[in-house]
Amino acid sequence: MRTFVLFDLEFTTWPGALEQDWSAAGQLREIVQIGALRLREDFSVAEEYEALVRPVVNPRLSAYFTELTGIDQETVDRDGLSPAEALGEFLGFCRGRSVLSYGNDMVVLGENVGWARARGEDVKNGYLGAHFLNVRPWINAVAPVTSSANVGRLWQMLGLPKPAAGQEHSALFDCYSFAAALTHLCGTGATLPDGI
C-alpha cells in the first residue's frame, strides 16, 4: 500500500522573529524538533518519526522558544542529535514518498541542510528521493475557517476531537493535528492535490 509523509518542524525563535521574518542579526531558523507521520492511503498511521536537534549557531534556546514549545535546554542538550544526523534520518524516512507540510517547513528544512553541508557535515540522504509539497493553500481553500490557524490548531478550527496527547507547537502533536484535518476533509469529499 502506498504511503505518504506529513511533517512539522519547531525551530529557534525569539519575540518578534516571525513578524520580522527572522531578519535580526544572528536569528536563524535552526531546527530544534522534527516530527513526522508516515500515513497509509486510508490515513492510518504506519510509522512515526520524532527527533530533537541541537542548534549550532544559537545553542542556547530562548525563553520565548521554551515557553512556546515546552522544549527545554536540558532536554535538548541531553537528547538532541546533531543537525546532520537528524536531517539525514528524517530525509531517509521520507525517501520515495510525497512529503506534505502545512506551510513553508520545506524551506526551513532546506536552509538547515545547507548550513550543515556548509559546515562540512555529511547529511545522509537528500531531497531528490522525495516529493515535498506545501498543502496549506489547498487546506485553506477547502476549509476557509483554517486560513488563520497554525498546524497545531487545525483540529480545533474544524471542530474535531483532540487527535493525540500533547499540545500545539510540539512537532509530533502538530502532525497528528494535520493528519486529523486531512482525514476529516477527505472524509467529507475533498480530494488531495495531484502528486500525493
Phi-psi region of 169 (alpha: psi -120 to 50; beta: other; left: phi over 0): left
**Residue 113 pLDDT exceeds 90:** yes
Q: What is the mean pLDDT of residues 82-89?
A: 97
Contact by Cβ (8 Å): 6, 100: yes
pTM: 0.95
Query: Which residues, listed in sequence order, are joined to residue 35 by a DSSP beta bridge?
Result: 8, 50
Q: What is the mean pLDDT of residues 143-165?
A: 96
Fold for 3-133, please state it: Nucleotidyltransferase; domain 5 (3.30.420)
Q: What is the mean pLDDT of residues 9-17?
A: 95
Contact by Cβ (8 Å): 123, 41: no
Round to whole Å and give the CA distance between 56 and 145: 38
Burial class (CB in 10 A: 0-12, 13-18, 19+), 191: exposed
For residue range 121-131, list pLDDT tens digits in order. Answer: 999 988 878 89
DSSP conformation letters of 125-185: S-GGGSEEEE-HHHHHHH-GGGTT--GGGHHHHTTPPP-SSS-TTSHHHHHHHHHHHHHHH
DSSP code, position 41:
T
- The crossing angle, in degrees rounded to 10, of helices 83-94 and 105-118 is 130
Round to whole Å and give the CA distance between 167 and 159: 16
Round to whole Å and give the CA distance between 146 and 162: 16
